[in-house]
Amino acid sequence: METTPPNLPNPEAPDSTGRDDLQSALPSPSAIPTKSGGIGLWLRDLLVSAAASVLIITFLYQPVRVEGTSMLPRLEDRDRLFINKFVYHIAGIERGDVVVFHYPRDPEKSYIKRVIALPGDRLRIDRGMVWLNGKPQSESYVPDEYRDTRSFEETVVPEGYYFMMGDHRSISSDSREFGPVERSLIYGKAVFVYWPARDAGVVH
Is 53 part of the annotated catalytic residue set? no
| DSSP H or E stretch at residue 29 | none
Where in the sequence is the domain holding 147, given as residue range(s)?
A: 63-202
Q: Mean pLDDT over residues 51-59, rounded?
A: 64
pLDDT at 178: 97
What average pLDDT does this structure show over 52-62? 70
User: What pLDDT shows up at residue 60?
Assistant: 84
pLDDT digits (tens, 9 = 90+) for 160-193: 999 999 999 999 999 999 999 999 999 999 999 9
pLDDT digits (tens, 9 = 90+) for 84-95: 999 999 999 999
In a domain, 50, yes or no: no
Residue with the bigger pLDDT between 39 and 140: it is 140
Q: What whole-number distance in Å separates Cα of residue 125 and Cα of residue 150? A: 7
Question: Mean pLDDT for the chain?
Answer: 84
Position 18 scores a pLDDT of 41
Q: Does the pLDDT at position 28 exceed 70?
A: no
pLDDT of residue 55: 63
> Is 85 within the bounds of a domain?
yes
pLDDT tier for residue 36 given thresholds of 50, 70 and 90: low
Q: Is 49 a catalytic residue?
A: no
Give 70's contacts (C-beta < 8 A, 6+ positions apart): 113, 166, 167, 168, 171, 172, 173, 174
Specify burial of residue 185 (Cβ count, 10 A radius: 0-12, 13-18, 19+): middle
d(CA 167, CA 142): 5
Asked if residue 119 belongs to a domain, the reply is: yes
How far is Cα 81 from Cα 193, in angstroms, rounded to an integer? Answer: 4
16 in any annotated domain: no
Provide the pLDDT for residue 188.
Answer: 96
Phi, psi at 28, each rounded to 5°: -70, 155
Q: Looking at residue 123, which CATH number applies to its domain?
A: 2.10.109.10
Judge whether 104 lies within some domain: yes
Per the residue annotation, which of 28, 36, 53, 113 is the catalytic one? 113
In a domain, 190, yes or no: yes
**Residue 59: is its pLDDT beyond 50?**
yes
In a domain, 194, yes or no: yes
Q: Is the pLDDT at 140 greater than 60, yes or no?
A: yes
Q: Which of 16, 36, 70, 170 is catalytic?
A: 70
Residue 30 belongs to some domain of the structure:
no
Mean pLDDT of 128-153: 96
Task: Reply yes or no on whether the pLDDT at 58 is more than 80.
Answer: no
